[in-house]
Each structure stands twice: as C-alpha cells, then as structure tokens.
C-alpha cells in the first residue's frame, strides 16, 4: 500500500468529483437500510449531507450512529472501475459546526442557493439538517492500477 497521505489525497480528489454516496444504516430490529444522499467532503474527509430527521436513515442514525457508505462513478468500464467503501459514524451537525458544513456544501453545490433563492433555501433547510459522516475506515478500489487493486485507510 502506498503512503497513507497519498491514499488520503487520492480519496479526496476522487470524492471531490462525485456528488452522491449510498449511505447504509441499520434499523431498530437489524434490518438494513440504504439511501442515496448528495454530499460534500471537507479537507479532513468528513462528508456532509442534508437529510430530514424524519427519514428512515436519519431515525436509524439517531438511534445508532454507525453507518457505511459507498461512492462510485456511474458509467465505468471494468478496466477503469473506481470506487470507495467507507465505514464510520454519522450524526447531526452541531451549531458550532454549522457554518463550516454549510460553506463546504455550498462550495460543492452553489446552484442550490442560486436556483432556490435565500427564502426558498431557508424553508428547505428548516425541514432538513446537516449531518456529518466521519469515516473510520476506507477502502479505495481502483482497477486502473490493476484488476482488484485496493488501498485502505484506518482513521
């Protein structure tokens, strides 16, 4: 495996080019749940996303913060397949973190505020909350470096 900083840099660059992760949570009786969420990653590889606290995945996370996620390009040739598998924890963003979470998200999705306008955006945010996913373990799959090539990071 290459140096951890090199792998982290490649992961950051890869995530910057994607818009969606599939977030996996566990229900109250152990049933799996997956939800696609738009996300933005900061320099420390924390992933921010918006979700209504009434959604199934949010209710699951409020009960058990452990989660998993996958990130991948949509239309790929198997020879150049790339993706990431992540395990970690997710929770609602606190008041002190909100400005940095909102700035990170707005930097990746500037059209959200531009198309909706401040009043509509404020209304949409009133029913949703910023969440942060902290990766604790990541596996990057990159077939362009050889079929089945994998690098892992433990945070």
Is residue 2 predicted with pLDDT exceeding 60? no
So where are the chain's domains?
4-154
Question: Band of the pLDDT at 143, cuts 50, 70, 90?
Answer: confident
- Nearest Cα residue to 81 out of 12, 147, 153, 155: 147
User: Is 12:58 a contact under the CB 8 Å cutoff?
Assistant: no
Distance of alpha carbon 28 from alpha carbon 18, whole angstroms: 30
What is the per-residue pLDDT across 53-102, written as a single tens digit (0 to 9) for each? 999 999 999 999 999 999 988 766 777 778 899 999 999 999 999 889 98
Phi, psi angle pair for 41, to nearest 5°: -105, 140
- Kindly give, in sequence order, each residue whose CB lies less than 8 Å from that of residue 108, ignoring residues fewer than 6 positions away: 16, 19, 40
> Phi first, then psi: what are they for 43, rounded to 5°?
-65, -25
Q: Is residue 122's pLDDT more than 60?
A: yes
Mean pLDDT of 117-140: 80
The per-residue pLDDT of the chain, averaged, comes to: 87
CATH superfamily of 4-154: Electron Transport, Fmn-binding Protein; Chain A (2.30.110.10)
| pLDDT for res 102 | 87
Nearest to 39, CA basis, from 56, 17, 61, 20: 20
pLDDT surpassing 80 at residue 121: no
pLDDT of the residue at 153: 85
């Amino acid at each position: 495996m290459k140096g951890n900083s090199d792998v982290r840099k490649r992961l950051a660059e890869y995530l910057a080019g994607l818009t969606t992760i599939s977030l996996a949570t566990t229900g109250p009786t152990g049933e799996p749940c997956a939800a696609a969420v738009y996300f933005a990653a900061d320099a420390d590889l924390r992933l921010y996303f918006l979700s209504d606290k009434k959604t199934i995945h949010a209710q699951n996370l409020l009960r058990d913060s452990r989660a998993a996620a996958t990130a991948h390009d949509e239309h790929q040739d198997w020879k150049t397949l790339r993706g990431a598998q992540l395990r970690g924890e997710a929770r609602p963003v606190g008041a002190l973190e909100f400005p940095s979470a909102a700035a990170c998200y707005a930097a990746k999705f500037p059209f959200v505020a531009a198309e909706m306008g401040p009043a509509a955006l404020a209304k949409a945010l009133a029913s949703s909350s910023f969440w942060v996913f902290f990766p604790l373990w990541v596996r990057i799959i990159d077939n362009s470096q050889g079929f089945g090539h994998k690098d892992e990071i433990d945070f």
